[in-house]
Amino acid sequence: MAWNFDYLIIGAGFSGLTMAERLATQKGATSLVVDKRAHIGGNAYDRYDDHGVLIHNYGPHYFRTNSPRIREYLSQFTEWHPVDYRILSWTDGAYWPFPINLNTFEQFTGKKSTPEEMAATLEKWREPVTSPANSEEVIVSQVGRELYKKFFEGYTLKQWRRHPRDLDASVCGRIPIRTNRDDRYLTEEFQALPAAGYTRMFERMIASCADRVKILLNTGYRDVLPHVSFKRMIYTGPVDEYFDFSEGRLPYRSLRFEEESFTPQQLVAREPVSGKKGFWQPAMQVNYPNDHDYTRIVEMKHATGQLCENTTIVREYPDDFGLGREPYYPIPAPDTSAVYARYKERADAEPDTSFIGRLATYKYYNMDQVVGMALAEFDRISRK
Ligand code: FAD
Ligand code: UDP
């Protein structure tokens, strides 16, 4: 006997759950949401570890947006804990303010400066390019080669196993470069974490429409296809998988996360480094462009503001995508875009499936962007 739903939604991440919630509460539609993982939330899933510390399971997720609509939408399901996300970079045996700003510049030159002096010096260092075509050009054309090599080249090689020259300008171009003392990692107007965590927020999204939305975890969607009838599919998984890789495999970058926890007693010895009781490192995130195999160490307790005696750090190791590895990052580059273009053509021609989210559109999107995309797709479907 087949299950009947209006919609079959593949993926219980930001994009899939936004669609399920909108369709249920605004249209009265029923959905079956299927995810192969054991939990909801996709890559934004967070959890309390065995030491009682709230950690982001799949790497740090710093929510930010410039869109009032997206913020208002999510605010129905969560309070917010405002955070000015601040990070450091560790290189040449020292911590550096990052992204590059006036403080970084002063540490680099060893003398006090004004924004005007910094701008004038960068003007001398930079290698002018009218329209940066790749991730090397976008940085070198702003700050010159020495700062590029110090902060960007090694990190990018590790993270993507590609030279910055072989990546779109948008990859390193995400990172702001400032001549003032604003040392926040991000530029968006609204920067905050869901006060009780992402998973709690997702639970509240589902609770608001529990009578119309069924969630099936630990299940690959192809296993349920023969047993479900539906009018439309909302697909948020990898687009090449949907089409049986018929246009060739899309490349992804993967990651490996290594957690380590510390008790207050163990942390006493770290106080000279962290500068704070109860913490292991001096900031929520420290990037390692040139040392070690990992790219960053994240200590989320700095950002969540959790009052907890223990702490947990997570080392993030870039990895090739393959068997048993998650496709965390689409790779923005001309060669991969050419493969994706073939899938996009086929996706656009599918009459009864919507392709949304980071994997189904093969775009390096942030959380607010995929929520925006889901809201727009909901509007489009509603108008039909
Ligand atoms: P996902 O969250 O990937 O959800 C897709 C779901 O589909 C997954 O749960 C998957 O298990 C499921 N699925 C896939 N294939 C199948 C199948 N065959 N059958 C059933 N289910 C399937 N964004 C920010 O805004 N700020 C940040 O600081 C930030 N940091 C990040 C750090 C890392 C390390 C990563 C990887 C991403 C980060 N992001 C960040 C991006 C953010 O994770 C994404 O924008 C967002 O989670 C995408 O949501 P989604 O629903 O499109 O996809
Ligand atoms: N990047 C870098 N050095 C850094 C931080 C970032 O070279 O210290 C580059 C790198 O290529 C990285 C990209 O900028 O992949 C985007 O960085 P972001 O921190 O936004 O990456 P994410 O959090 O999405 O992994």
Q: Which of 275, 248, 330 is nearest to 86 (CA)?
A: 275
Does 222 fall in a domain? yes
Nearest residue by C-alpha to atom 10 in ligand 2? 156
Domain end point (choices 140, 173, 206): 173
Ligand 2 pocket mutation, candidates 100, 166, 174, 286, criterion most atoms within 8 A of CB: 174
Both 243 and 345 in one domain: the answer is: yes
Whether 158 and 106 share a structural domain: yes
Weakly modelled stretches of the chain, pLDDT under 50: none
State how far the Cα of 19 lies from the Cα of 341, in Å rounded to an integer: 25
Kindly state whether residue 308 falls inside one of the protein's structural domains.
Answer: no
Helix%, strand%, coil% for the chain, nearest 5: 40, 20, 40
Q: Does pTM top 0.95 for this prediction? A: yes
Give domain status of residue 68, yes or no. no
Q: Is the peptide bond before 82 cis (omega within 30 degrees of 0)?
A: no
Distance CA 352, CA 342 (A): 19
Centroid of ligand 1 to alpha carbon of 310 (angstroms): 28
Query: What integer pLDDT is reported at residue 1 of this predicted model?
Result: 59
How many angstroms separate the alpha carbon of residue 235 from the centre of ligand 2?
27
Q: Is the CB of 14 under 6 A from ligand 1?
A: yes
Residue 137 lies in a domain: yes
C-alpha 185 – ligand 2 centre gap (Å): 10
Q: How far apart are CA 24 and CA 19, in angstroms?
A: 8
Ligand 1 mutation pick, 236, 354, 369, max ligand atoms within 8 A of CB: 236
Confidence (pLDDT) at 384: 82
Residues 16 and 146 in one domain: no
169 and 201 part of one domain:
no
pLDDT in tens, 279-328: 999 999 999 999 999 999 999 999 999 999 999 999 999 999 998 899 99
Residues 165, 19, single domain; the answer is no
Question: Does residue 35 line the site of ligand 1, with CB under 6 A?
Answer: yes
Compute the CA torsion angle 185, 254, 142, 281 (nearest 10 deg).
40
Ligand nearest to the CA of 300: 1
The verdict on residue 79 lying in a domain is: no
Do 161 and 215 fall within a single domain?
no
Total domains in the chain come to 2
Does residue 184 belong to any structural domain of this protein? Answer: no
Phi and psi at 62, nearest 5°, equal -95, 110
- Record the tokens describing residue 37, joined without a space: 């993982």
The answer to whether position 324 is within a domain reads no
User: Which residue, judged by its Cα, is nearest atom 24 of ligand 1?
Assistant: 366
The C-alpha torsion from 276 through 81 and 54 to 272, rounded to 10°, is -10
Q: What gap in Å lies between CA 23 and CA 16, rounded to an integer?
A: 11
Residue 289 Cα to ligand 2 middle (Å):
10
pLDDT single digits (tens) 132-167: 999 999 999 999 999 999 999 999 999 999 999 999
Centroid of ligand 2 to alpha carbon of 244 (angstroms): 31
Q: Give the integer Cα–Cα distance in Å for 45 and 67.
A: 22
User: Based on the domain organization, do 215 and 345 belong to the same domain?
Assistant: yes
- Shared-domain flag, residues 154 and 40: no
Rounded to whole angstroms, how far apart are CA atoms 235 and 197? 25
- What's the sign of the alpha-carbon dihedral 261, 267, 270, 274? positive
For every residue of 11-30, DSSP letters joined together read --SHHHHHHHHHHHHHH---
Per the CB < 8 A criterion, the answer to whether 199 and 47 are in contact is yes
Residue 16 lies in a domain: yes
Are 13 and 159 members of one domain?
Answer: no
Domain range enclosing 210: 3-45+197-250+329-383
**Residue 374 CB–ligand 1 contact under 6 Å:** no
Say what the pLDDT of residue 323 is: 84
Residues 223 and 351 in one domain: yes
Nearest CA to ligand 1 atom 2: 42
Looking at the structure, tell me whether residues 111 and 164 fall in a common domain: yes
Q: Which residue matches tokens 């997206």?
A: 70
Ligand 1, atom 8: closest residue by C-alpha: 42
Q: Are 227 and 5 in contact (CB under 8 A)?
A: no
How far away, in angstroms, is 74 Cα from ligand 2 center?
26
Answer yes or no: do 164 and 209 share one domain. Answer: no
CATH no. for residue 347?
3.40.50.720
Whether the CB-CB separation of 81 and 192 falls below 8 Å is answered with yes
Strand order in the sheet with 7-10: 213-216, 31-34, 7-10, 232-235, 353-355
